[in-house]
């Protein structure tokens, strides 16, 4: 079984994914990192040099590749992955994959992301905290329709990593 982690930027997909993989003794794949290795460019550079449409195309192709080739892995997606192409449908149609949504609220996300704007291509244009709050609020609302299709949904606000992982494991047994 593959475990597919979804959620907005800053929701903890990569950090929790690494820990979950260790607990289950599964390999961990981070889709962003996979794309960076295959394309030999960082995500920021890919957005800058090739543009978002190219990035979304590659994100879709590499997701398909991983779903076809891998079994028993923990896969952390990018925040936008479930919301483009037919990616969420592919994930739902894959009988060997279980999807987990790490659900974080706007305030929690803003708190986590406001110091990371520079390295995030979708957030680096917001100079003030107010603009960031407004953007994340709208963006999360649009994306929730995709995220909410996950098999399992876990709220992460104000919880320790230990508690979140414990909840994940409870859902899996």
Enumerate binding residues for ligand S3P (CB under 6 A): 9, 13, 32, 43, 78-80, 120-122
Minimum CB–partner distance for residue 24 and ligand S3P (Å): 20
Q: Pick between residue 26 and residue 147 the one whose CB is nearest to ligand S3P.
A: 147
What's the min distance (Å) between Cβ of 151 and ligand S3P?
19
SS (H, E, C) 60-96: HHHHHHHHHHCCCCEEECCCCHHHCCCHHHHHHHCCC
Closest CB to ligand S3P among 117 and 120?
Answer: 120
Residue (89 or 170) nearer to ligand S3P, CB: 89
Inter-CA distances, 22 with 47, 94, 99, 163, Å: 31, 23, 18, 16
CB of 95 to ligand S3P, least distance (A): 25
Give the torsion sign (CA, 75, 76, 77, 82). positive
Q: Taking phi first (over 0 means left), then psi (-120 to 50 degrees means alpha), and beta for anything else, what does residue 85 get?
A: left
For residues 59 and 168, which CB has a smaller minimum distance to ligand S3P in the complex? 59
Determine the distance from the C-alpha atom of residue 164 to the mean position of all C-alpha atoms in its chain, rounded to a whole number. 16
Element of type H or E holding 136: helix 129-147
Query: Considering the complex, what minimum distance in angstroms separates the CB of residue 69 from ligand S3P?
Result: 20
């Amino acid at each position: 079984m593959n475990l597919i982690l979804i959620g907005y930027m800053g929701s903890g997909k990569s950090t929790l994914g690494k820990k979950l993989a260790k607990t289950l003794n599964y390999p961990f794949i981070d889709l962003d990192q996979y794309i960076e290795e295959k394309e030999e460019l960082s995500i920021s550079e890919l957005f800058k040099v090739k543009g978002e449409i190219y990035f979304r195309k590659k994100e879709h192709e590499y997701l398909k590749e991983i779903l076809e080739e891998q079994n028993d892995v923990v896969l952390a997606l990018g925040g936008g992955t479930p919301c483009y192409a037919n990616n969420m449908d592919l994930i739902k149609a894959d009988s060997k994959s279980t999807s987990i949504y790490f659900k974080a609220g706007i305030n929690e996300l803003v708190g986590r992301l406001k110091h990371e704007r520079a390295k995030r291509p979708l957030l680096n244009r917001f100079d003030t905290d107010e603009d960031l709050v407004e953007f994340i609020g709208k963006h999360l609302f649009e994306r929730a329709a995709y995220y909410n299709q996950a098999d399992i949904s876990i709220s992460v606000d104000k919880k320790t990593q230990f508690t979140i992982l414990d909840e994940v494991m409870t859902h899996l047994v």
